Chains A and B, each alone.
Chain A
Amino acid sequence: MASLTQVLDADLDAIEVGSGILGTGGGGNPYIGKLRCREELRKGRRIDVIPLAELDDDALVVSLGGIGAPVVGVEKIEQGEECLRALRALEQELGHKIDATISSEIGGANSMEPMLTAAQAGIPVVDGDGMGRAFPEMQMCTWSIYGHQSFPSAMADEKGNIVIFRQTASEVWLERLARSCVVTMGAAAGIALAPMRGSFIKQFAIPDTLTQAWSLGKAVFEAQAENRDPIAAILEHEDGRLLMTAKIVDLKRHLKGGFAVGEVKLEGFGNFAGETGLIDLQNEFLVFRRNGEMEICVPDLIVVLDSDTGLPITTEVLRYGQRVAILALPCHDLLRSEQALEVIGPAAFGYPDLTYSPLPRTSEREAAQ
């Protein structure tokens, strides 16, 4: 797979689709972020991508993105340089220049802001992220799991306010303080988290995920253009498994503690006729059960696609009668350690009785035979 070294206008649609698929039903809509990246390119700025391997060990890398309520983000669009101001504030606070940006979450909307901020700052964006997918909270990314403490961090709004969180008692406290601050700022702001060293990022970021989102989106477009099955293309690209082709026969959704929670009942068709499926969701798709038995759960990716177009379906547009393909994609090993599973395994989402059993990759399946 060729690496993405520079993002051009023509690449943005593919990244949008790829990050939508990796969003596993959540992560927010990357549409506005895509338009903003395009505007940066039209101004003549460049989005350069740096692979993990090329980072200096002592380089300073900042994870940044928008923070606030998604419904506000589509109405009060950012002024445009919130994250850049937050990044500059961090540089000033630390007395060091930041060398690159990185996304904490490749799945969904947060894939875009680090690219456009990098373009504005004249630095590269790292080809990697902190989840390889989407999760509902900031501390669910690999750097928080593997011990990075996000202070000092900086937050900026469109009006010229900048807040530095010089010290926070824990990652959860930062999330709490940042949330109440962003409400006062009008529920949309940019946040830049404390920089990490290149050596740490090389060890703990999920590698190559910008390239992955881009080439995944391209695989879908190419399959569509050649009238091939886009779902087969996604499975091949991601080394995934088709869990079921099914029709949604029941759907329950409600809001609990700020999160969209619910379940989707499925009835198999085609090769899966006669089977039933059930997906639990909490912003993202969490657990898949076949005929009542748990088969796949977090942190592996459960992806729901339109069975004809291969385009991802997010939890808010699910509805009765949709014909869908359910895919399982293996998550990165960094998400499978005991340490990681405490934060993003089934128990962390309220399923203490479920045991995570990693979805084998092709190489692992072959080795087992």
Chain B
Amino acid sequence: MYRIGIDVGGTNTDAVIMDGEKLILGVKSPTTQDVTSGIVASLTQVLADSEIATDQIGAVMIGTTHFTNAVVERRRLSKTAAVRLCLPAAECLPPMVDWPDDIRETVGGHYWMAKGGNEFDGREISALDEDELKGIAEAIGKQSIDTIAICSVFSPVNDEMERKARDILAARLPDANFTLSSEIGRLGILERENAAIMNASLRALSAETVEAFGKALESAGLSCPCFITQNDGTLMSAEFVRAYPVLTFASGPTNSMRGASFLTGEENAVVVDVGGTSTDVGSIIKGFPRQASTSVDIGGVRTNFRMPDVFSFALGGGTIIKPEEDQPIGPQSVGYRIHTEGLVFGGKTLTATDVAVGLGMADIGDREPAGSLGKTLLSKMYAIMDEMIVNGVERVRVSPDKIPVLAVGGGSILMQDQVGELPVIKPENFAVANAVGAAIGQISGEVDRIFSLDKTSRDEALETAREEATQKAIAAGAKPDSIEVLDQEDVPLAYLPGNATRIHLKVVGDLDG
């Protein structure tokens, strides 16, 4: 069976068709306002160009920035009720306390704090109060809110209170949908709660989007399952995304990096994605992006998702060069107007692309206007650009090993065959790396919580975590015998009596079927 990978970007919707490990072909078509018709167009074209019958397609994988954009642009977010189980703790910082005003207003800013929550070792902070929750259900009903996020203190250690509270509220609000923080986030209550509230506010949009994706597949004559990529590069079923849209955040850079790794066969490398305006650099370890250790802002809201650690700087194919200035490279760019404004295209603006062409590094348009500026000046400009790239690569490099640099993106003509001491590989089909990254997605299972080592050994705790993560992966559709540990980390907790450790463990496996 074949797989189709789709990347719905801001400008283009790309589609690739793959036979196992082999890329058959890729196509690009413009992203449309309604998203669906752009997807239908690429699906139809990729099927027609490859001459593969629709019943030969086993699965379609979609990567989308739709939900991130909704948050960033404060569009299509539903009014949400945030319920935190914590009292008497955490009263001083209510839900959404550090959100920008405009997005807090967009989701309504409604919150309730109630008794409940657990200690780090599982004891209760206070017992759940059913009458209190009934009162909250009534208040939420009066506000006509049907989207609810529930967050309990230490729910990554024990999620029972969040589930009980949901049942109590659901009995009185039968039409409401619920997001439990323990299902999407990890330790760090403000960040996890933020993610839960954002997720809740995206539920209406996700229901609509998942339906649109389904219709797009149907219109293209496909009846296979549809998956959507999440921020770590693994897959979720479309039905799962309906409930957890927030998990798609940052899947774009992840797919691009994983696609570059796949296209070159390099599992440990630095990926440099040079666009028209800026360059993104990230590290790939064992085929997956290295993740950032700090908190990540999405549209001004702090979260603690595991996002790829990407360093961006203002250098792209369209970057404007002003040789007479102290800092001659950018940061302004002519962007997509390079096809009319760049010297090689007969325009009047000296850009990074013109420098590369003038030096004979690439053959695009008319070399003469840039070439006439002289080799000395062009080489001087190029040296500064090269230093920016070397600096970026050095920032994300994770070891002294001579790993390769994978160059992707339309602006990668700016790169020579060496960055500092590291060799550069430019894969064929680099333009559809994102869609390839979606198509090769695997299924994951993850555990991140505190284990007490009073009655068990560290090895037993790791084994328990591995088993839990494996069960989650199988439940999400992974082939049991293909599952392996991708990432494992245990951190003994400072200033606590020696017996608590926080284990983060992730397994991945191939999609079953």
Contacts and interface: CB of A to CB of B under 8 A. Distances in A.
Contacts of B126: 159
B120 A35 contact: no
Contacts of B436: none
A76 interface: yes
B391 interface: yes
Interface string B173-209: 0000000000000011110000000000000000000
B494 A70 contact: yes
Nearest to A227: B327
A70 B496 CA distance: 9
B91 interface: yes
A320 B399 contact: yes
B265 interface: no
Interface stretch (B29-37, B64-72, B92-100, B353-361): B92-100
Interface in A174-201: 179-180, 183, 186-188
Nearest to A32: B93
Contacts of A51: none
A317 B294 CA distance: 7
A323 B395 contact: yes
Contact of A320 (B153, B397, B492): B397
A77 interface: yes
A31 to B, nearest CB: 9
A81 B89 CA distance: 10
Contacts of B455: none
A32 B87 CA distance: 18
A76 B391 contact: no
A59 B377 CA distance: 70
Given A39-B97, A75-B153, A319 B398 contact: yes
A76 B397 contact: no
A247 interface: yes
Nearest to B186: A75
B494 A321 contact: no
A322 B395 contact: yes
A76 B492 contact: no
Interface residues of B, number: 41
A292 B496 CA distance: 35
A123 interface: no
Given A70-B495, A317-B294, A78 B89 contact: yes
B394 interface: yes
A69 B496 CA distance: 6
A186 B497 CA distance: 12
Q: Is the interface of B mostly helix, strand, loop or mixed?
A: loop
Given A69-B493, A71-B187, A76 B119 contact: yes
Given A183-B496, A316-B293, A39 B120 contact: no
B187 A321 contact: no
Contact of B88 (A69, A72, A79, A180): A79
A273 to B, nearest CB: 14
A47 to B, nearest CB: 15
Interface residues of A, number: 40
A260 interface: yes
Interface in B362-413: 391, 394-400
Nearest to B123: A186
A36 interface: yes
A368 interface: no
A352 interface: no
B93 A36 contact: yes
B189 A77 contact: yes
Interface string B82-121: 0000111111110001100000000000000000010110
A79 B397 contact: no
A247 B394 contact: yes
Given A35-B98, A187-B120, A321-B395, A76 B293 contact: no
B458 interface: no
A68 interface: yes
A186 B89 CA distance: 11
A258 B495 contact: yes
A319 B396 CA distance: 9
A98 interface: no
Contact of B188 (A74, A187, A323): A74
- Which residue, A35, A158, A179, A323, has most C-beta atoms of chain B within 10 A? A158
Interface string B103-147: 000000000000001011001011000000000000000000000
A349 interface: no
A343 interface: no
Contacts of A68: 495
Contacts of A32: 93, 190
A162 interface: no
A255 interface: yes
A217 B380 CA distance: 37
21 contacts: A35-B98, A36-B92, A36-B93, A70-B494, A71-B493, A71-B502, A74-B190, A76-B86, A76-B117, A76-B189, A77-B89, A77-B92, A77-B189, A78-B90, A159-B88, A183-B497, A255-B492, A255-B494, A258-B498, A319-B293, A323-B394
Interface of A: 32, 35-36, 39, 68-72, 74-81, 158-160, 179-180, 183, 186-188, 247, 249-250, 255, 258-260, 316-317, 319-323
The 3 residue pairs across chains A and B that have the minimum distance between CB atoms: A80-B92, A77-B90, A186-B119
Interface of B: 86-93, 97-98, 117, 119-120, 123, 125-126, 153-154, 187-190, 293-294, 391, 394-400, 491-498, 502
Given A76-B120, A186-B89, 18 more contacts: A35-B98, A36-B92, A69-B495, A71-B494, A76-B125, A76-B189, A77-B86, A77-B189, A79-B90, A186-B119, A187-B495, A247-B394, A258-B495, A258-B498, A260-B494, A319-B293, A323-B391, A323-B394
